């Protein structure tokens, strides 16, 4: 059986000093072997995986070692192959370890061999084969004996993490929660290890891709990075955490922050020479550079990713996917020659493979090439091909969403030229379908941007209230999923619309052309942003000037008020008009799904907290005001004495004064009034 000292040392590759672990095995080794294998761990710890692997791949290094010692370094060799994403080599090593374990009737070694076979199969994209081995691994695990409970638990954790990894990438995402829940719920009871780091990252990916729980996703990546920094041999895991942060920030539209994390991750993966992960990062960065307007850098990184992938096994990350990205990037930036060049290359691969994945990507990029043509008949073919694609039953939802966006762009161009109601109806139909698929696939960045598009379409047809309702819905969604840049953009768009209400009302009675309305509404620009997936520009938003805070009951009665401006009195016509028409405002504004109204120079922002309605009157932009009113509601609900006091006064039909509730005034002032230096 394995030496427990070795496996306690290597259980997470973290807990004991390297030299100490080698000393524990010194009694079994000759000095030359000891020195060389000590060098392996030093190289591995420093991130020089290729050099460490070269020594471990020399079979002469294992002469004179007993089974336990050999197994220890075989496991180290397996981890290097895992970190370098060499799936086929990992399968081969796993089979060797498994056979040796079976020959010696050592179930612990047999299990470790199966672990490497499973992860190797997953890396190579052979998910069905990997799934078939889990039952076998569980059976071997049950028959491990004569080792500590700690070692058994460690193998159970390792198997659960492997199962979650294969499930996530192999299309059985339900395995993620069922496999990891017991680990993550009690992770503080386990030693800090690469398995716990991996478990957090897999869960983060699941929460991002499947559940769209962005805050929880960030928490798991943060936790993974914190643990990774404390373990030894941590270069790979720190880089992987940074890669995940890059994906997270791109998903919520923070392209510049995403790029910073990708660059950090790339530096580490280049140091450890993990070519597969370098290729992934170059691909990610190529897309990011394209989105922030750095077209040449985008093409450069994508081409470099292709060149690297051509030299290594591709697994579940393939060259044709990057070629598709290059075609899309080039076409969307008007570089038709480059787009055609890469399409010709994709077509050659398509003629050789003709699998489901490449078929869909090939047809999508063909439609995109046709769309960029100056000939009307080509654009018509592109429209028909996009329609065909969105009716196809496929798992490539990202391309389905893009096909909807490009189809909407074609129809908007047609509507702009023809001003035909049938075209407008068709456009609205596909916008509704885009919203549906984006919501189902948790693509909330696209979902919110599409709401903005719908709002602008309503605006050019003078449906002001409808446009505002769409913007209100979009901001709520963006806020709830932490898409800060987009939330700021939407809030600014809503404020601008309120400021230009009179202008749009006057335009309704004039004979202004459709093209002028499209320009005034910014509809063409919004469509272009969606087509090119541009980074969201943060508008210049100033802090508001607070005027008054009000809390009303469901019946419209005033429960609490706080003035922030001394010369603003209840007798002022603005406030008086508001109080006398409060029921109208609630029914005509708030019940319409809107959250704000304008009274002269003042903006009124409303937010419900049952059984009350909190209203904030201010001058200026709404974004930071929205955050303050939200913060206030959270604060009064979290302070039980304040919240209960409001409930008591409400039940007694009495109004609340500041001196009735201790600490209320300081809370209000701290939230709504900026501190002066």
The number of angstroms, rounded, from the C-alpha of 649 to the middle of its chain's C-alpha atoms is: 44
570 and 628 inside one domain: yes
Q: Which of 233, 264, 279 is the last residue of a domain?
A: 233
Average pLDDT for residues 370-389, to the nearest whole number? Answer: 92
Q: Which of these, 89, 24, 85, lies nearest to 56 by C-alpha position? A: 89
346 in a structural domain: no
Radius of gyration of the chain from its Cα atoms, rounded to whole angstroms: 30
Average pLDDT for residues 80-104, to the nearest whole number? Answer: 92
Contact partners, residue 561, CB within 8 Å, separation at least 6: 548, 549, 550, 551
Q: Identify the H or E element spanning 599.
A: strand 596-599
- CATH number, position 664: 3.30.450.60
12 and 141 inside one domain: yes
Q: How far apart are CA 660 and CA 652, in angstroms?
A: 14
Average pLDDT over the chain reads 86
Average pLDDT for residues 288-298, to the nearest whole number? Answer: 92
Q: How many CA atoms lie within 13 A of 24 on its CB side?
A: 17
Predicted pLDDT of residue 577: 59
Q: Using a cut of 0.85, tell me whether the model's pTM lies above it.
A: no
258 in a structural domain: no
Average pLDDT for residues 594-619, to the nearest whole number? Answer: 87
85 in a structural domain: yes
**pLDDT per position as a tens digit, 529-573:** 899 887 788 888 889 999 989 998 877 788 998 989 876 654 555
Q: How far apart are CA 335 and CA 342, in angstroms?
A: 11
pLDDT value at 271 more than 50: yes
Q: Identify the H or E element spanning 578.
A: helix 573-580
100 and 210 inside one domain: yes
557 and 514 inside one domain: no
447 and 555 inside one domain: no
pLDDT band at 350 (very low <50, low <70, confident <90, very high): confident
263 in a structural domain: no
530 and 600 inside one domain: no
Q: Which of 233, 250, 285 is the last residue of a domain?
A: 233
318 in a structural domain: no
Whole-number percent of the chain with pLDDT over 90: 52
Q: Which of these, 337, 336, 333, 254, lies nearest to 295 by C-alpha position? A: 333
485 and 565 inside one domain: no
Helix axes 174-184, 149-169, angle to 10 degrees: 150
Q: Which of 541, 556, 590 is the last residue of a domain?
A: 541
Predicted pLDDT of residue 675: 67
Average pLDDT for residues 579-583, to the nearest whole number? Answer: 60
Neighbours of 147 (CB within 10 A): 16
452 and 419 inside one domain: yes
pLDDT value at 3 more than 80: no
31 and 161 inside one domain: yes
Average pLDDT for residues 246-266, to the nearest whole number? Answer: 93
Give the chain's domain count: 3
pLDDT value at 471 more than 60: yes
Residue 359: left if φ>0, alpha if ψ -120 to 50, beta else—which one? alpha
**pLDDT per position as a tens digit, 436-450:** 999 988 888 999 999
Label residue 106 exposed, middle or buried (CB < 10 Å: 0-12, 13-18, 19+): buried
Identify the residue whose tokens are 């009307």. 376
516 in a structural domain: yes
Predicted pLDDT of residue 565: 84
281 in a structural domain: no
Average pLDDT for residues 327-345, to the nearest whole number? Answer: 91
645 and 663 inside one domain: yes
124 and 228 inside one domain: yes
Q: Residue 229 is part of which domain span?
A: 4-233
- Range with top average pLDDT, 104-108, 262-266, 414-418: 262-266
45 in a structural domain: yes
456 and 581 inside one domain: no
- CATH number, position 125: 1.25.40.10
Q: How far apart are CA 433 and CA 391, in angstroms?
A: 11
Average pLDDT for residues 390-415, to the nearest whole number? Answer: 88
């Amino acid at each position: 059986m394995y030496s427990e000292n070795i496996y306690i040392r290597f259980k997470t590759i973290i807990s004991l000093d390297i030299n100490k672990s080698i000393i524990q095995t010194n009694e079994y080794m000759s000095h030359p072997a000891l020195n060389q294998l000590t060098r392996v761990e030093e190289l591995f710890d420093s991130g020089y995986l290729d050099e460490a692997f070269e020594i471990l791949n020399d079979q002469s290094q294992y002469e004179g070692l007993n089974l336990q010692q050999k197994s220890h370094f075989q496991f180290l060799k397996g981890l290097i192959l895992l970190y370098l994403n060499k799936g086929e080599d990992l399968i081969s090593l796993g089979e060797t370890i498994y056979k040796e374990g079976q020959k010696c009737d050592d179930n612990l070694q047999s299990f470790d061999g199966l672990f490497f076979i499973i992860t190797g199969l997953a890396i190579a994209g052979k998910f069905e084969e990997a799934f078939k081995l889990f039952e076998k691994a569980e059976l071997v695990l049950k028959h491990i004996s004569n080792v500590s409970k700690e070692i058994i638990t460690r193998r159970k954790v390792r198997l659960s993490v492997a199962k979650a990894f294969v499930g996530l990438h192999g299309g059985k995402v339900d395995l993620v929660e069922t496999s990891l829940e017991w680990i993550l719920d009690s992770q503080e009871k386990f030693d800090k290890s690469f398995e716990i780091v991996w478990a957090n990252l897999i869960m983060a990916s699941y929460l991002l891709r499947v559940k769209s729980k962005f805050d929880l996703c960030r928490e798991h990546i943060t936790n993974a990075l914190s643990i990774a920094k404390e373990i030894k041999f941590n270069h790979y895991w720190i880089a992987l955490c940074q890669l995940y942060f890059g994906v997270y920030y791109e998903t919520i539209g923070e392209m510049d922050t995403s790029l910073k994390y990708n660059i950090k991750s790339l530096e580490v993966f280049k140091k450890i020479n993990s070519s597969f992960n370098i290729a992934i990062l170059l691909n990610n960065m190529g897309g990011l550079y394209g989105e922030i307007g750095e077209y040449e850098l985008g093409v450069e990184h994508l081409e470099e990713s292709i060149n690297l992938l051509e030299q290594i096994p591709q697994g579940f990350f393939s060259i044709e996917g990057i070629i598709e990205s290059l075609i899309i990037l080039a076409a969307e930036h008007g570089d038709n020659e480059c787009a055609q060049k890469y399409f010709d290359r994709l077509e050659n691969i398509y003629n050789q493979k003709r699998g489901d994945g490449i078929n869909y990507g090939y047809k999508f990029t063909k439609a995109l090439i046709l769309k960029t043509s100056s000939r009307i008949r080509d654009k018509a073919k592109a429209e028909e091909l996009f329609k065909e694609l969105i009716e196809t039953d496929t798992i490539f939802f990202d391309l389905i969403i893009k096909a909807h966006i490009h189809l909407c762009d074609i129809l908007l161009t047609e509507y702009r030229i023809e001003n035909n109601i049938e075209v407008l109806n068709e456009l609205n139909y596909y916008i509704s379908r885009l919203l549906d698929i984006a919501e189902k696939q948790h693509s909330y960045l696209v979902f919110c941007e599409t709401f903005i598009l719908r709002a602008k379409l309503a605006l050019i047809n003078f449906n002001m209230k409808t446009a505002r309702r769409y913007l209100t819905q979009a901001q709520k969604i963006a806020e709830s999923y932490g898409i800060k840049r987009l939330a700021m953009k939407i809030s600014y768009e809503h404020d601008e619309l309120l400021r230009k209400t009179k202008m749009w009302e006057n335009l309704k009675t004039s004979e202004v052309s459709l093209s002028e309305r499209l320009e005034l509404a910014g509809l063409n620009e919004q469509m272009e942003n969606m087509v090119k997936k541009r980074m969201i520009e943060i508008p210049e938003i100033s802090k508001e000037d607070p005027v008054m805070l009000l809390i009303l009951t469901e019946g419209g009665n005033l429960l609490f008020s706080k003035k922030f401006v001394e010369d603003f009195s209840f007798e002022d016509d603005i406030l008086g008009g508001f109080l006398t028409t409060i029921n109208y405002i609630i029914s005509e504004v708030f019940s319409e799904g809107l959250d704000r109204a304008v009274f002269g120079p003042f903006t009124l922002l409303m937010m419900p907290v049952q059984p009350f309605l909190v209203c904030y009157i201010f001058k200026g932009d709404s974004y930071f005001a929205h955050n303050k009113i939200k913060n206030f509601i959270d604060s009064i609900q979290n302070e039980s004495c304040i919240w209960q006091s409001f409930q008591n006064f409400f039940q007694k039909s009495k109004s609340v004064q500041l001196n009735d509730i201790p600490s209320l005034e300081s809370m209000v002032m701290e939230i709504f009034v900026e501190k002066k230096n």
